[in-house]
Amino acid sequence: MKKFRVEWSRAASTDLLNIIDYISEDSTPAAINIFEKIRSKCETLTQSPERGRIVLELKEYGISSYHEIIVKPWRIIYRISDNKIYVLAVIDSRRNIEDILIERFLE
């Protein structure tokens, strides 16, 4: 079985830090918990990265190379290339993510 390695883009790292900073304003333990959940969920991709669904908003534009996994309410968007998984964004699913995705991935 092929083993993959997870790498975080600068944008995704910034997304995660912003989420953690926001949550920590109310509760540091909750922020740490969310951080650990998101990071560990991403690490599970090393075994079977194809299990994430294709990002529907991008699929509508004919782009099927981006996948996502969910840690409610966040969508973790990534791309698989060779033996690497590039985490590209961590977006709150309660926001209008189509605009965010188009801005990040189509321009």
Please report, for the chain, the start and end positions of each structural domain, with discontinuous segments joined by +.
5-105
Contact 78, 35 (CB under 8 A): no
Provide the whole-model pTM.
0.87
Q: Residue 63 has what DSSP assignment?
A: -
CATH (residue range 5-105): 3.30.2310.20
Q: Cα(66)–Cα(83) distance, rounded to whole angstroms?
A: 15
Q: How far is CA 77 from the centre of its chain?
A: 4
Q: What's the pLDDT at 60?
A: 83
- Residue 69 identity (one-letter amino acid): I
Q: What's the pLDDT at 73?
A: 94
Tens-place pLDDT, residues 15-39: 999 999 999 999 999 999 999 999 9
Contact 12, 71 (CB under 8 A): no
**Positions in the chain short of pLDDT 70:** 1, 101-102, 104-107
CA dihedral 18, 19, 22, 23 (to 10 degrees): -150
Q: What's the pLDDT at 1?
A: 62
Q: What's the pLDDT at 106?
A: 60
